[in-house]
Structure 1
């Protein structure tokens, strides 16, 4: 009898492991709606790459570049608050630059929080961009982020114009087809944010087109690695975040387009 019990337990465990493996495969296998979302992500990447390098078309990306700079500076500020710093101001400038002025905090946490924070925000938006209801929730979170940023940047006119304009765009997309197309805007902002981080890290730290950067200041504080090494590390982390956002979107949001539409209608409906 004990032998039969052991065989039964072993068989049950094997069946359970098989079910777990099959379930994992199904979760990682994108459905038709997710395949279309992945195609859209690919189109976004190609379109952004083209617009980025065509001078008379690059203005289309300009507000989204500034938004990503805002994410970057917000990452510094939030890390500063979490490490007991006092945030004096956030500033954006027309040349796609920005600055977060703070006193106190822990520099080895606040300095990398700009790139890593904006790439994490981008990855989260990419994941939410796989689902309409999740995109609506992401918009509410962004609204909170916008309000906090406006408080810190209350003396910076460009930040006000950018955030109010972006908020208006999000509201407009929310009211189109019950928010169904909203997820494509959220998806675009997420892809744009992550790509901008990759470009900025390469431009500022690896290609060294600027004299100083977050990586150079971080290297001065740590003293163990040159800024290019930190740039490569942050670049890899940003790529991991982006890939993670896509995987989370595939695993967590399996509803079809029709199911997403029905659920979205019952979450803060427009009518």
Structure 2
């Protein structure tokens, strides 16, 4: 039986604020995340995290708009697919299609807000909870393995790693989602220009709205850049404090 003291200790660990991270740590994690996004080989591996957020965004939007969610598939080439049923047009479908490319930086923005309050352990545990919730929606083996590995890594770091390692991991992950929301939009337009993604989210939005696919790609890009800027300011708090102090 779990004692009250143990539960109190767990609550304090989750909800308590950790010390401010060193400004150098914030800067180095930003640079590391940026290198991971712009460098080809690391991006091919780490992009799975962006895909998880992308498909999770589709799934959450589908549920919130009353669509019937059939499941999510994550593939080894870092692509993914979220299947839902409902009206093929209308606000629910528009929101569901919009959510994919916007989800990674928006998740990063929420993470930046939590880190701004120095709730590093809380952020890691929320990430584990979201990955477990998403796991029940996965419909292929690679997707299950991908979520188990990702969730296991986050859980292990949150449970066993010292505070500085937790901070470095959390900041790198949030920076990566913020930066990583921009590159897929650029890749989307490049592939569309070559005629290789005729059924992209942007093209599907063009099919059910009066606006062109390029308009929607531009919306993705502008929103993600604004979110990157806001999230960057939140994460750079220790640096700004150090400079002004």
**TM score, norm. by length of structure 2:** 0.77
Deviates more, 1:61-70 or 1:143-152: 61-70
Query: How far 1:45 moved relative to its partner?
Result: 0.9
Q: Secondary structure at the residue paired with 1:152?
A: coil
Query: How far 1:34 moved relative to its partner?
Result: 3.2
Q: Secondary structure at the residue paired with 1:79?
A: helix
Q: After superposition, give the CA deviation of every residue in 1:228-253 in whole Å (9 maximum; x if it has no partner).
A: 12111211110111111122234599
Per the alignment, do residues 150 and 47 of structure 1 end up closer, same or farther by CA in structure 2, a change over 3 Å counting? Answer: closer
Q: Secondary structure at the residue paired with 1:180?
A: helix
State the alpha-carbon separation in 2 of the partners of residues 115 and 193 from structure 1.
11
1:40 and 2:22 matched: no
1:49 and 2:38 matched: yes
Unaligned runs of 5+ in 1: 1-30, 53-57, 257-271
Query: How far 1:129 moved relative to its partner?
Result: 4.9
1:88 and 2:70 matched: yes
Match of 1:145 among 109, 115, 130: 130
Match of 1:234 among 211, 216, 220: 220
State the alpha-carbon separation in 1 of the partners of residues 32 and 63 from structure 2.
37
Q: How does 1:253-268 map to 2 (within 5 A)?
A: none
Query: How far 1:85 moved relative to its partner?
Result: 1.0
1:103 and 2:85 matched: yes
Unaligned runs of 5+ in 2: 1-19
Tell me the matched-pair count. Answer: 216
> Which protein, 1 or 2, shows the higher relative CO under an 8 Å CA cutoff with sep ≥ 6?
2
Match of 1:196 among 180, 184, 196: 180
Deviates more, 1:133-142 or 1:38-47: 38-47
Q: How does 1:50-199 map to 2 (within 5 A)?
A: 50=39, 52=40, 58=41, 60-104=42-86, 106-129=92-115, 133-153=118-138, 155-199=139-183
Task: Work out which of the two has the higher radius of gyration on C-alpha atoms and give 1 or 2.
Answer: 1
The equivalent residue for 2:208 is 221
The equivalent residue for 1:247 is 233
Q: Secondary structure at the residue paired with 2:22?
A: helix
Q: Secondary structure at the residue paired with 2:136?
A: helix
Q: After superposition, give the CA deviation of every residue in 1:31-64 in whole Å (9 maximum; x if it has no partner).
A: 99335413430243135423x2xxxxx1x44443
Query: How far 1:222 moved relative to its partner?
Result: 0.8
Q: After superposition, give the CA deviation of every residue in 1:137-156 in whole Å (9 maximum; x if it has no partner).
A: 11121122112211111x31
The equivalent residue for 1:11 is none
**TM score, norm. by length of structure 1:** 0.70
